[in-house]
Chains A and B, each alone.
Chain A
Amino acid sequence: MPVPCARCDSPLPLWELASASAAVCTSCGSRNTVRVFPSLFAAPTTPALPESALDGEAACFDHPSKRAVAACHQCGRFVCQLCSVEFGGQVWCPACVAAGKGSGKAVYLEPSRMLFDSIALTVPLASLIFWPITIITGPGTVVFSAMTWKRPLSLVRKSRWRFMVAILIGLAETIGWLWLVIYSWEQFRMGAGMGTNGSR
């Protein structure tokens, strides 16, 4: 059971691991700090083979000749040793795992998430660099935040403050544009009025 060097991945020699607080790699010379745990010495597990079902015994749904050892927690089908899949403390059959049943609950299996709150916050801020497009991004941010408000956040960040700040910035930009439009319209009207009066 070799412990590899963290820098070059070469196996660290046992005499270094045995005698040193820092194991020096003979390949790259790095002084590795090593922590090992008992699972390093665990023998590799071989998959358990299903036992044949005797007459009258419950059999696996997919392998009728094999003895059932459990029932699928999702669909209730009997599964043999080979078919039983441990899934978050429950036993599932391969079909349910493949179909992704209960994937909404299986947070601990999610490999990635889209950060909608970060998108909502970045768009109105980044658009300030080229401010005329805030006429679209301002209201767009408010709508986007409202639409994605209930979507799952990051696994490790639970607060929705990014959404709140994004909505505030989006509203500010929208109000700014509305004010500009109204102000310009008023100016235009006043100018037109003065022009009319002047012509009289």
Chain B
Amino acid sequence: MAPAEEKYRRLPGRRRGVISGASLWMGQDHILMVKTAWFREEYKRFYLRDIQAIVVAPGARFYISIPVLVLALAWLFSGFFMAFWPTSVAIGWIAGTTAMLAAWLGVSIAAGCRCRLYTAVSKDELPSVFRTWTARRFLRQVQPLIEQVQGTVDAGWAEAERTSAGPLLHQGPGAMAPMERQPRSAAPSRTLASDLFALTLVVTSAVGLATVGSADIFWNRVNTALTIVQLAGAVVVLVQYSRGNIGKAMQRVAVVSMLLTGVTFYVQTFTFAIINGARIGSGLGPMAQVRPYVMVHQVTYGLNMLLGLISAVITLRGAYSDEPDIIKD
């Protein structure tokens, strides 16, 4: 008989909502899923011998835990006193708020995931595993324990299934884990669209850095047009990635460039509005160019240039190292 009070070890992943929560715990021979609602805990046990598969799929997950919510409310509350702050502090607060919001959105979209655990008679989502890094840590801890109980599946099990030969099971430890199998030939690291996107990044940042101090409306329009082209390029790269036509490296560059453009847009808008608002309020006229505004643009163009160089490296590596495919042969 199992001990009356079994000791549990916490597994990676925890979700703490306002009235509900979830966590995973490792028992002697089972994984315990704990779901909390108000003042009640509900338990579900997954015995290691019964677990058939664990599948993780990426997907946007928008969650705010209680600690983050409290911090966010405290931060936003401090904004009520903005009227008494010097301009630089106010700008910093707005920039910080925008950056935090962008970071949360970015993490929720790019690092969200859904993890499911399958047994012969159930398929349960693990609500506490909703970030990809948590899923990786969870799998790293749980997989060896399940394999200790069940043994391992041969790397080519799916191929064996396809050929109806049946999978080769290894009961002892030390067999090759399913995820250690050879990855399939990766998606190409470059396409024509990604090449153009990389070129746009470099051109946008070069033109922007050269004309950042200029108040000429012509250059303003050129920079805006180039930014729009760059965004369109990033969108095309993301579409190609979702179709499996391009590798992850370029997709990451596209995501970062989009985030950077979004953050810059909001920061410059707020900066401009606050500084000119303060100037008009104190009897001075509005300024066409303000120093923090120029600085934000310089930083953005600098980062864009860096992204352009990174994407150029990815492109060049892809050009010289892509394996020839059947069509080329």
Contact = CB atoms under 8 A, between A and B. Distances in A.
Interface of A: 1, 3-7, 9, 12, 14-15, 17-21, 24-25, 29-42, 44, 88-90, 105, 107-108, 110-116, 118-119, 122, 154-156, 158
Nearest to A16: B158
Interface string B158-176: 1101100011010100000
A6 B57 contact: yes
B123 A4 contact: yes
Interface residues of B, number: 68
22 contacts: A1-B52, A6-B56, A6-B113, A6-B116, A7-B57, A12-B55, A18-B159, A19-B184, A20-B184, A30-B59, A32-B56, A36-B157, A37-B52, A37-B152, A39-B150, A107-B2, A108-B6, A112-B41, A113-B40, A118-B39, A155-B43, A158-B5
B135 to A, nearest CB: 7
A44 B50 CA distance: 12
Contact of A40 (B45, B52, B57, B147): B52
A158 B120 CA distance: 32
Contacts of B162: 14-15, 18
B42 A112 contact: yes
Interface in B1-47: 1-2, 4-6, 8, 10, 23, 25, 27, 32, 34, 36, 39-45
B118 to A, nearest CB: 7
Nearest to B49: A39
A38 B153 contact: yes
Given A34-B55, A41-B169, A115-B41, 17 more contacts: A1-B52, A1-B161, A4-B123, A5-B55, A31-B57, A32-B57, A35-B177, A35-B179, A38-B151, A41-B157, A42-B120, A90-B1, A105-B4, A108-B6, A112-B41, A116-B39, A156-B25
A24 to B, nearest CB: 6
Nearest to B24: A156
Interface string B172-188: 00000111010110000
Contacts of A88: 1-2
Contacts, number: 163
Nearest to B55: A6
A29 B139 CA distance: 22
B8 A156 contact: yes
Contacts of B156: 18
Contacts of A18: 156, 158-159, 161-162
Contacts of A34: 53-55, 178-179
Contacts of B41: 112-113, 115, 154-155
A39 B8 contact: no
A198 B123 CA distance: 83
A21 B181 contact: yes
B26 to A, nearest CB: 10
A155 B32 CA distance: 10
A32 B4 contact: no
A192 to B, nearest CB: 46
B114 interface: yes
